[in-house]
Structure 1
Amino acid sequence: MRFTFVHCHGSGNDFPLIDARGIDLSDPEWARVARALADRSGDVGGDGLLLLTAQDGSHIFGMRMFNPDGSEAETCLNGLRCTARLGFEVTGAEAGRVRLKVSDAEARRVAPIADGVTTIETKVGPVSLAPGDVGLTIGDAPFVEAAIPGLPSERKFTAVAMPNPHLVAFVDAVDDGELVALGDWCEAGPALIPTRANVSFVELREKGHAPALFVRTYERGVGLTNSCGSAMAASTLAAARTGRIGWGVETRVFNRGGMVRATAAIGDVVTIAGNATFTWDGEIEVDPATGAVGPVRIMGRRDEEVAAWEGMLAGL
């Protein structure tokens, strides 16, 4: 089956994105397509596969996201910005409600965060801090900067469902080795959190009227990643919940992939504004029944967008 796609990224979190509104495949078939296209050793590669899906009721369109291992994520906020951009382009809309796997979000075009950088704002929430919603099998009250019994770490975590599960700890300096060890433990699906979790270590780099966070994430189904949009949102909420930033205060959130603007509002609603950069367009043959993949054909490159993003990074 021939698929056309756009390769894109949100804050360095990169994906092949398919307009799937007219494509009828089963979930196992899409999982095989995702494993084929998001494979870093292949011709495309990415942190997952994004699908633009059809309008439904109050939703202007929908998004699905499959991880490189074929599992489907509840949400992906970096991917949502890219999917919303494509959705706006094909529908002619500028804003709307987007259907996700088990929830929805508001998305709209906003002023660029830098010259030439297409920017989409998304709003999600209210999100949940109930341990069961995060996937934890222990506790009735929310874990907000608290030790989680049974977790192989003495650090204090805030557990948030975005609705995908996040464990967020604030640290003086990120230790990748420690983060990977804990992420690997969660990825094994232990009894404490059998559906696994995204784990983030966060540094508070600036305080006051212009706060800044640096987020490093072990992403469920992916591993250590340069960027995870829902982790940046969860970290912003955790920072507000623990008094590190103010409610309603715009915060710059950095990761190795770039930067977004984020705000946590009372009521546990998080708004993220960041890039939705299209880097190149391609087509490829994938057999959904087997996952067999053919060579990729590059249809065009978006060099001006790439240069604009790289110029923004250089100025950070």
Structure 2
Amino acid sequence: MRIAFIKCHGSGNDFPLIDARDLTLSEPQWATLARLLADRAGPVGGDGLLALVPGDDIHAFGMRMWNSDGSEAETCLNGLRCTARLGFDVLGIDAAQVKLKTSSASAARESAIAPGVATIRTLVGPNATRAVDVGLVGAPEQVLDAAIEGLPNPRRFTAVAMPNPHLVTFVEAVDEAELVALGSWCERRPALLPARANVSFVEQRGPTSLFVRTFERGVGLTDSCGSAMAASVLSAALTGRVPFGTPITVFNRGGMVRGQAEQDRRVILSGNATFEATRAVDVDFATGTLGAVETLQDRDAERAAWDAMLAGLRETA
């Protein structure tokens, strides 16, 4: 089967993105496709697979997202921006309500965060803070800046569902080995977290500036995770580190976004939705293999605009 896709990224979180509105695949085939296309050792690579899917009476279109291990995620906010941009492009619109796996989000085009950088604003929530919604078994009703009994790490965490599960802790400096150790423990589906969780270590670098490093469920240590950045913005407000309604700049290894936690626990994220190239590949589901990748259209100007923005961020860091 010939599959066309856009190689895209949001804040460095990169994906193959498929217009799947007229594509019919079984659930096992989608999982296989995600593992093949998002394999870092393969010819495409990515942090997961995105699909633009049909909407309904409320939603102009929908998004599905699979992690690189083939598991489906409830949401992916960096991916949502990219998928929303494609939806806007093919439908000729500038804003929409987008259907996600278990929730809904608003998305709209926004003024560029840097010259030549396509920018999308998303609004998600209300988001949950009940431990049961985060998937914590046997925990108190809420975990807000508190140690979690049974977790093999003594730090104080805030647990939020975006709606995918997140554990967020604020640190003086990110220790990647510590983060990977805890994230790997969560990946083993312990009794405390049978559905696993995303884990983020967050440095507050100023009154309204955060740096986020995340071990992403089903992916591993990643340069960027949109829902983790949103969870970090919400956690900063919930713990009194940044007031609700205050714009925040959120940095990660992949770039940056603008964020804001609303009083009703919805979160606004504005960031890039960069299309790097349009490509196609032959997929053999019977053998689980990919053919050669063909580039149909390069988007050199978009890549150059993003690289220029990153260079500017490094100069001011």
TM-score range, shorter chain: over 0.9
Amino acid of the structure 2 residue aligned with 1:68:
S
TM-score, length of structure 2 as denominator length: 0.98
SS of equivalent residue, structure 1 residue 42:
coil
| Matches for 1:1-316 after TM superposition, within 5 Å | 1-207=1-207, 211-316=208-313
SS of equivalent residue, structure 1 residue 33:
helix
SS of equivalent residue, structure 2 residue 98:
strand
Deviation at 1:283, TM superposition (A): 0.2
- Cα deviations across residues 37-82 of structure 1 (Å, max 9, x unaligned)? 0011111000000000012120010000011100000000000000
Deviation at 1:288, TM superposition (A): 3.1
Amino acid of the structure 1 residue aligned with 2:308:
G
Deviation at 1:293, TM superposition (A): 1.1
Q: For 1:36 and 1:194, locate their aligned partners in 2 and report how far apart those are by CA, in whole Å.
A: 26
Q: Displaced runs of 4+ in structure 1, greater than 4 A?
A: none
Q: For 1:165 and 1:8, locate their aligned partners in 2 and report how far apart those are by CA, in whole Å.
A: 24
TM-score, length of structure 1 as denominator length: 0.98
Amino acid of the structure 2 residue aligned with 1:294:
G
Q: For 1:184 and 1:34, locate their aligned partners in 2 and report how far apart those are by CA, in whole Å.
A: 21
Q: For 1:27 and 1:205, locate their aligned partners in 2 and report how far apart those are by CA, in whole Å.
A: 42
Amino acid of the structure 2 residue aligned with 1:221:
G
Structure 1 residue runs without a partner (length 5+): none
Q: Give aligned-pair identity as a percent.
A: 63
Amino acid of the structure 1 residue aligned with 2:26:
S
Cα RMSD for the two superposed structures: 0.7
Q: For 1:168 and 1:77, locate their aligned partners in 2 and report how far apart those are by CA, in whole Å.
A: 16
Q: For 1:162 and 1:297, locate their aligned partners in 2 and report how far apart those are by CA, in whole Å.
A: 36
SS of equivalent residue, structure 2 residue 292:
coil
Q: For 1:268 and 1:178, locate their aligned partners in 2 and report how far apart those are by CA, in whole Å.
A: 29
Give the aligned length: 313
Deviation at 1:299, TM superposition (A): 1.1
Amino acid of the structure 2 residue aligned with 1:223:
G
Deviation at 1:27, TM superposition (A): 1.1
Q: For 1:61 and 1:189, locate their aligned partners in 2 and report how far apart those are by CA, in whole Å.
A: 32
Q: Is the 8 A contact 1:33 1:287 kept in 2?
A: no
Q: For 2:180 and 2:225, locate their aligned partners in 1 and report how far apart those are by CA, in whole Å.
A: 15
- Cα deviations across residues 202-236 of structure 1 (Å, max 9, x unaligned)? 000011xxx10000000000000000000000000
